[in-house]
Structure 1
Amino acid sequence: MDKLTSMSVFVRVAKAGSFAGGARELGISRAMATKHIMQLEGSLGTRLFNRTTRSLSLTDVGASYLERCQQVLLDVEEMESAVTHLQTEPRGVLKISAPPVIGATHITRAIAQFLKIYPDLTVDLILQSSPGDLIDEGIDVAIYLGALDDTSMVARKLATSSMVVCGSPEYFERYGVPQTPEDLYNHSCLVNWASSPRNKWKFKGEMGCAVINVSGRMQANVADAIRVAAIDGLGLVMLASYVVARDIERGKLVAVLENYTLPPLDIHAVYPHRKYLSAKVRRFLDFLQEWLGPQVMMPGTE
């Protein structure tokens, strides 16, 4: 039998002054209440009650044990209440992993707004190209871009971003503007090798689909590096719209091949467990999905 349950039965019987009274308050049979008390006495090796046909009273050991039981049950109740509170109100530390570009911009701005809503919460943000080992590193949520490889983790789709091929005005003045995907064979294409597939850019147009094996003079494992190189005229890039939208607005980059459709980039939140998801993780995921929708232009669904 569960000892905490038996302790609870013991306290009720002692307070009621009878097995029948304690059993009635707990909604169990008198025989079951007696069984719990006998189990406790057996494990303790002593009697807790003096029993007669007309009365029931605590022994000296029973009186001392009653006091301890009440304190233990109160501590358990307070502990469960505290854990339940953690499940309903975000507090403590939320550890988040995110790719450098979206992490330093969109995710950081979302975190700032989220922390204004929940003052008892703090955030540790780790900017890294890969999510890392969530369990070993104690990461609560990892932001993941593109197709998911690790199916052991739980994933929630937050949003989808369109992709853009673009380059600087200076580059196009010097090398010309590509009119079809096949023209890219004659251009320097800067590759973000953190994205898969690394050197294959896919296009869909009126004549069907085309997969271009691009190459250029620079590759990098983060989008921001090749974005800066493109602005400096080193070549063309294919990046998510949220990465280059401001540069295009300011005229630093110019979008090309806009008559073709590019595969969109899915943005997921990845976390280790689905069951008993903490309030801080659950609320942040809800908030982030709502936040990213308009920010990256194409809202996603779970």
Structure 2
Amino acid sequence: MADRLTKMIAFVKTAELGSFSAAGAALAVSSQMIGRHVGELEQSLGVPLLTRTTRIQTLTEAGRLYLEGCKRALEAVDAADAIVAETAQEPRGTLRITAPVEIGAAVLTPQLPEFLRIYPDVTIELVLDDRVIDLVAENFDVCIRIGKLPDSGLIARPLTPFRLVTCASPDYLERYGVPQVLDDLVGHTCVDYAFHNYPAPSNWAFTELDGEERQVHPNTRLTVNNGHALVEAALAGGGIIRASELAVARYLETGRLVPILRDFASRDRPMHIVYPGQRIRLPKLRAFVEWAIKSIPSSG
């Protein structure tokens, strides 16, 4: 195709300037090379495009028709090059993002209008899903992921970790009592979170008053793989949960959930922005990654 375009350029320039020598001078090649390109083009088409004299070349009827087509084709190539060059400088196009349901709703969605104001040529498709999505297979540009990342070929940039809150409904605590120390969790019912692609962790990690880390095995009778479902289970009195402070903030404020074991800090979970390495060349993705690192707030 590159050779074909080179021959078309040589033909168009010859038709515009009237001779191989003038076309060669304009394109910084020899007149013999221009003549060769045009001759090979005529041979492949099976018709003469130019009527040659010793000093000038004029178009045949087929040449005039072909010249119009060549100009349209070369203009289209130039336009495509211009679009790519412009895209390489300014973020534009559709950015496909996925994030966990609760974090996407509580953290990401409130911030995105500001990003869209900064980059008016970018549109966003946001898919909230608690699955660990295969970005390449499902054609996503970037995602937000919570917790320990599995090994992969993806690039991960750390965001501000978010804080976990241990809490339960007033009804549950009235019926079963309020845990005062970590060992009290053994006698309570807990609701745990598990990702779609791998199970819930077997232990909950806390920090003791003396700063030592403590692992507690929760008495889990219900495990869910959706953050919204986790909170709903606690609201219904199903047991004690650990959830993102952002996800339960409004329920803590209204008293529908009550924080417990506040003297024992839950380990903050890491949060990352993750993307296929080869896509970072896209200006829209570079812009979003840098913006997200600066703009996504912490939960505490």
**Shorter-chain TM-score tier:** 0.7 to 0.9
User: Could you say which residue in structure 1 is the equivalent of 2:145?
Assistant: 144
Alpha-carbon distance in 1 for matches of 2:114, 2:280: 27
Q: 2:243 aligns with which of 232, 239, 244?
A: 239
CA RMSD, aligned part only? 3.3
Aligned ranges 1:124-273 → 2 under 5 Å: 124-149=125-150, 151-168=152-169, 171-172=172-173, 174-180=176-182, 182-194=183-195, 197-205=200-208, 206=210, 208-251=212-255, 252-260=257-265, 262-271=267-276, 273=278
Q: Which residue of 1 aligns with 2:75?
A: 74
The two structures have a TM-score, normalised by structure 2, of 0.79
**Cα offset, 1:192, TM superposition:** 0.7
**Judging changes above 3 Å, is the alpha-carbon distance between structure 1 residues 260 and 105 closer, same or farther for their aligned structure 2 residues?**
closer
Give runs of ≥4 in structure 1 deviating > 6 Å.
none
For 1:155 and 1:211, locate their aligned partners in 2 and report how far apart those are by CA, in whole Å: 27
- Deviations along 1:138-173, one digit per CA (max 9) or x if unpaired, are 434333222333614444444421333333455556
Q: Bigger CA drift: 82-91 or 142-151?
A: 82-91
Residue 261 of structure 1: how far off its partner (Å) = 5.5
Aligned length: 293
| 1:26 paired residue number | 27
Q: Distance in 1 between matches of 2:262 and 2:170?
A: 15
- After superposition, the Cα gap between the structure-2 partners of 1:32 and 1:240, relative to the gap in structure 1 and judged at 3 Å, is farther
- For 2:203 and 2:30, how far apart are their aligned partners in 1? 72
Instruction: Assess if the C-alpha contact under 8 Å between 1:178 and 1:256 holds in 2.
Output: yes
Kept in 2, the 8 Å contact 1:159–1:268? The answer is no
Cα gap change, 1:150 to 1:29, in 2 (>3 Å)? farther
1:111–1:191 CA distance, 2 compared to 1 (3 A): same
- Relative to the length of structure 1, the TM-score reads 0.79
1:146 and 1:266 in contact (8 A); partners too: yes
Contact 1:142 / 1:271 at 8 angstroms: preserved in 2? no
Q: Does 1:103 find its partner at 2:108?
A: no
Alpha-carbon shift at residue 191 of structure 1 (Å):
0.2
Relative to structure 1, the CA distance from residue 240 to residue 47 in structure 2 (aligned partners, 3 Å threshold; closer, same or farther) is same
Per-residue CA distance 1:124-150 (angstroms, 9 max, x = gap):
433322143444544343332223336
Amino acid at match of 1:224: H
User: 2:292 aligns to what?
Assistant: 288
Identity across aligned pairs (percent)? Answer: 31
**1:74 & 1:54 partners in 2: Cα distance?**
29
**Distance in 2 separating the partners of 1:7 and 1:159:** 55
CA contact (8 A) 2:194 2:225 kept: yes
Structure 2 contact 106–246 (Cα < 8 Å) conserved:
no
SS in 1 for 2:130: coil
Tell me how far 1:266 sits from its aligned partner: 1.5
* Unmatched runs of 5 consecutive residues or more in structure 1: 298-302
